[in-house]
């Protein structure tokens, strides 16, 4: 399927030549560019407005009311910033934010370290590296919900492969390896699955970064007799840093929204130890039916991600400009 | 490939460093594969084998998981089962051994078909709309183009649950709840932002001169787009389509909240497969295996396009 660039050019030239009847070379141009520009962009923008922006504005409106989706006929009363006040003063929500931050932090650390290491090793271009790269990519192509559900089985202390393997290696009895039932282990159970799934993604972006470093820089360093260690820290890491930071940004945004895997693995439990923001939000919206309050929380979350992402992108741009 | 690399032999990694790198990567890849291999193995185990301890690596393969995935069964007395005519087909036979008879088809197939319809429908729409918009952004002066592009991207920053609240209300009003069309629209909207971003990059790479030449030769703008730009953007369009497809195929949060029966896709359905005494793991594994196979095939067949698509955003900006 890959077409070389020169053949593209030839094909285009060929197609152009064949499809141009000289007699009608000067026919009416049809629509003006301006009309076409609109025609091309309008459908996508309209859809986004209808399915993203309109609901978002609706959520903003709802966040100032006491509306409950399970009582559509009850009178709707504006409550000003009451919902926001309640959300921001709710210790459970702060707990959920903390849990989310904990997940985001550890998944990013693990995925970046392992992902970059793998990318660095794959960049050695050993025999069969393309094949093994593809194998490593498989987990990230799968459904987090479906795979998360199956990991629940792997984690079962009495029958699961994970507990068995850990017990085999460490000698700890399997009854003590309650990955999903134990308050200290449950968050790590999720972090492990997320890392298993998404390390390949970080790896790929890091690989793109490493491949973008021109060889002549290393050649120059080699001439200057820089040690491999020195080359790694003075060339490889700084040059790949913008890419690593991008991977961190993408994973950060995604994991801030983490929902499916947690729902299927622990459902937020045991207790509420793995209850991330999305799960709290889902409970408020679709179990307590406190639509107004849930909307306020949703808006706060959105502003938080948006704000953090913006600050981060500014930092990223500074790094790139160096 | 190695011949091309040997041009800069100074920085070519030594053979031993390659060997070490290769060993570590292969080890990691093999460990990564274990859960997937285990899913497949579980899918061909009998229910007792699937929950035996220590986990069984050697076992007699059984199609029971797949039978249970596609059928619903009712328990009967041995006497009643003995009175039935001879079993038709493997599943009938397997089921009767457990003192049950097949009552009818399960919901798996319709859910799987829903997944197919919704994933392919939304992918087609998203790529279609995305290609048009990407071309528009790439070739024309659009007022506030940068802001619009950022707005398009920012729609992906919302947690799905947050958007799901108003969409749930909106769909309830419009009668789109639990319909395949509603889900197609929703996934299209989510994917179109990605499609515009990816495709704009691909189309930016195609020199404008081609279209200009074509237009000087008498093509209209639309013809130039169709006959010159589209054929050259094929690779990019394919890569984008795969990404949209993977997303729509794998999506869970919206599907779980906005569909309950008719339009439910496989991801929320598979975890609900319950057997007697808890989750029927061989059936779940069978469903998971069938569900994963298309993506697995895509990944392996189209890995070059995938690599390009994933790393694309990173390389560009």
Encode pLDDT of A121-171 as tens digits: 999 888 888 889 989 999 998 999 999 999 999 999 888 999 999 999 999
Q: What angle do CA A6, A11, A14 make, to 5 degrees?
A: 125
Domain boundaries, chain B: 15-105+270-293, 108-268
CA distances from B243 to A139, B57, B234, B237, B299 (A): 14, 35, 14, 10, 10
* Chain A interface, best mutation among B59, B69, B159, B214, by max A CB count within 10 A: B159
**Residue position matching structure tokens 């399997």:** A174
Q: Which of B92-101, B179-188, B255-264, B268-277: highest mean pLDDT?
A: B179-188
> How far is the alpha carbon of B79 from chain A, nearest alpha carbon, in Å?
34
B143 interfacial to chain A (CB closer than 8 Å): no
Predicted confidence at residue A292, as pLDDT, reads 93
Query: Cβ of B74 under 8 Å from any chain A Cβ?
Result: no
B103 touches chain A (CB under 8 A): no
Question: In angstroms, what separates the C-alpha of A268 from chain B's closest C-alpha?
Answer: 15
pLDDT digits (tens, 9 = 90+) for A54-93: 888 999 999 999 999 888 888 888 899 999 999 999 999 9
Instruction: Please name the member of A69, A209, A218 whose beta carbon is closest to the beta carbon of B169.
Output: A69
Pair type for strands B278-279 and B274-275:
antiparallel
pLDDT digits (tens, 9 = 90+) for B44-66: 999 889 988 888 888 999 999 99
> For residue B10, is pLDDT > 80?
no
Nearest to B193 by CA among B126, B259, B95: B126
In chain B, the N- to C-terminal Cα span, in Å, equals 27
Q: Does B162 touch chain A (CB under 8 A)?
A: yes
Q: How confident is the model at residue B42 (pLDDT cuts 50, 70, 90)?
A: very high
Share of chain A above pLDDT 90, in %: 57
**Max Cα-Cα span within chain A:** 86
pLDDT < 50 positions in chain A: 1-10, 12-13, 16-17, 20-28
**How far apart, in whole angstroms, are the C-alpha atoms of residue B108 and residue B286?**
11
Q: What is the pLDDT of residue A24?
A: 40
Q: Most B CBs within 10 Å: which of A6, A27, A31, A146, as the mutation test of the B interface? A: A146
CA nearest neighbour of A244 among A203, A191, A215, A211 = A203
Could you report the per-residue pLDDT of B162-205, keeping only the tens digit for each? 888 899 999 998 999 899 999 999 999 999 988 998 898 889 88
- Confidence class of residue B261 from pLDDT cuts 50, 70 and 90? confident
Comparing C-alpha atoms, which of B298, B83, B219 is closest to residue A19? B219
Q: What is the pLDDT of residues B278-299, one digit of tens each?
A: 889 999 999 999 999 998 888 8
- Tokens 């949060």, residue located: B253
- Supply the DSSP string of A164-209, one letter for each residue: HHHHHHH---GGG--TTTSTTHHHHHHHHHHHHHHHHHHHHHHHHH
pLDDT for residue B156: 79
Interface membership of A188 toward B (CB under 8 Å): no
Is CATH 3.30.390.50 what the domain over A81-321 is classified as, yes or no? no
Cβ-based contacts of B152 with chain A (< 8 Å): 44-45, 48
**Chain A residue numbers touching B163 (CB-CB < 8 A):** 52, 55-56, 59, 298
> Sorting pLDDT into bands at 50, 70 and 90, what band is B150?
confident
Question: Which residues, other chains included, contact A46 with Cβ-Cβ below 8 Å and sequence gap of 6+?
Answer: none
Q: Which residue did the predictor score with more confidence, B310 or A257? A: A257
**Predicted confidence band of residue B312 (pLDDT cuts 50, 70, 90):** low
Token pair 């990059």 is found at B201
User: Looking at residue A91, what is its pLDDT?
Assistant: 94
pTM of the model: 0.87
Report pLDDT for A114.
Answer: 97
Q: What is the mean pLDDT of chain B?
A: 87
Work out the end-to-end distance of chain A between its first and last CA atoms, rounded to an integer number of angstroms: 38
| Contact yes or no for A222 and B10 at CB 8 A | yes
Instruction: List the domain boundaries for chain A.
Output: 81-321
From CA B222, how far away is CA B161, in angstroms rounded?
39
Q: Check if A225 contacts B (Cβ < 8 Å).
A: no
- Helix, strand, or coil (residue B157): coil
CATH-assigned architecture of domain B108-268: Orthogonal Bundle (1.10)
What string of H, E and C letters represents the secondary structure of B178-247? CCHHHHHHHHHHHHHHHHHHHHHHHHHHCCHHHHHHHHHCCCCHHHHHHHHHHHHCHHHHHHHHHHHHHH
């Amino acid at each position: 399927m890959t077409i070389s660039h020169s053949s593209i050019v030839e094909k285009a030239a060929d197609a152009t030549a064949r499809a141009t009847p000289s007699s009608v070379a000067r026919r009416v141009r049809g629509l003006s560019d301006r009309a076409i520009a609109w025609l091309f962009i309008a459908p996508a923008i309209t859809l986004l407005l209808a399915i993203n922006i309109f609901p978002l504005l609706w959520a903003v409106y709802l966040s100032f009311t006491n509306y409950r989706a399970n009582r559509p006929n009850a009178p709707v009363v504006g409550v000003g910033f009451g919902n926001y006040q309640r959300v921001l003063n709710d210790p459970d929500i702060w707990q959920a934010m903390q849990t989310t931050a904990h997940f985001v932090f550890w998944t990013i650390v693990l995925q970046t370290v392992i992902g970059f290491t793998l990318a660095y090793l794959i960049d050695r271009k050993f025999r069969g590296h393309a094949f093994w790269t593809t194998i490593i990519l498989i987990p990230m192509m799968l459904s987090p919900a479906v795979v998360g559900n199956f990991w629940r089985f792997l984690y079962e202390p009495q029958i699961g492969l994970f507990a068995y393997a850990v017990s085999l290696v460490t000698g700890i009895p399997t009854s003590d390896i309650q990955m999903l039932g134990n308050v200290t282990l449950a968050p790590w159970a999720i972090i492990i699955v997320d890392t298993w799934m998404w390390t390949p993604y970080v790896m790929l972006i890091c690989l793109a970064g490493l491949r973008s470093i021109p060889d002549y820089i290393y050649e120059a360093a080699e001439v200057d007799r820089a040690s491999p260690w020195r080359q790694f820290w003075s060339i490889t890491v700084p040059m790949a840093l913008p890419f690593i930071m991008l991977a961190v940004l993408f994973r950060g945004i995604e994991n801030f929204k983490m929902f499916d895997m947690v729902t299927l693995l622990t459902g937020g439990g045991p207790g509420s130890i793995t209850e991330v923001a999305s799960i709290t939000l889902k409970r408020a919206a679709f179990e307590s039916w406190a639509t107004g309050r849930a909307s306020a929380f949703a808006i706060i979350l959105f502003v938080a991600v948006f704000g953090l992402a913006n600050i981060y992108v500014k930092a990223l741009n500074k790094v790139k400009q160096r | 490939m190695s011949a091309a690399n040997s041009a800069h032999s100074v920085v070519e990694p030594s053979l031993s460093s390659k060997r070490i790198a290769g060993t570590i990567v292969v080890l990691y890849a093999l460990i990564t594969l274990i859960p997937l291999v285990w899913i497949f193995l579980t899918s061909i185990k009998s229910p007792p084998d699937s929950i035996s301890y220590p986990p069984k690596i050697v076992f007699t393969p059984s199609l029971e998981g797949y039978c249970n995935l596609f059928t619903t069964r009712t328990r009967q007395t041995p006497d009643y089962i003995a009175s039935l005519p001879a079993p038709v087909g493997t599943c009938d036979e397997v089921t009767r051994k457990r003192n049950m008879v097949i009552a009818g088809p399960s919901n798996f197939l319709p859910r799987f078909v829903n997944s197919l319809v919704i994933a392919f429908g939304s992918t087609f729409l998203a790529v279609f709309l995305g290609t048009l918009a990407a071309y528009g952004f790439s070739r024309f002066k659009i007022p506030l183009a940068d802001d619009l592009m950022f707005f398009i991207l920012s729609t992906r920053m919302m947690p799905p649950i947050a958007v799901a609240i108003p969409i749930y209300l909106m769909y309830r009003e419009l009668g789109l709840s639990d319909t395949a069309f509603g889900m197609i629209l929703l996934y299209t909207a989510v994917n179109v932002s990605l499609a515009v971003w990816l495709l704009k990059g691909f189309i930016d790479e195609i020199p404008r001169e081609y279209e200009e030449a074509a237009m000087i030769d008498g093509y209209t703008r639309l013809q130039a787009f169709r006959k010159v730009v589209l054929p050259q953007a094929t690779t990019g369009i394919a890569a984008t389509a795969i990404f949209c497809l993977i997303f729509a195929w794998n999506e869970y949060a919206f599907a779980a909240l906005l569909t309950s029966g008719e339009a439910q896709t496989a991801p929320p359905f598979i975890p609900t497969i319950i057997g007697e005494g808890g989750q029927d793991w061989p059936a779940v594994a069978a469903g998971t295996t069938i569900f994963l196979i298309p993506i697995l095939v895509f990944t392996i067949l189209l890995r070059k396009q995938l690599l390009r698509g994933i790393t694309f955003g990173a390389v560009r900006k």
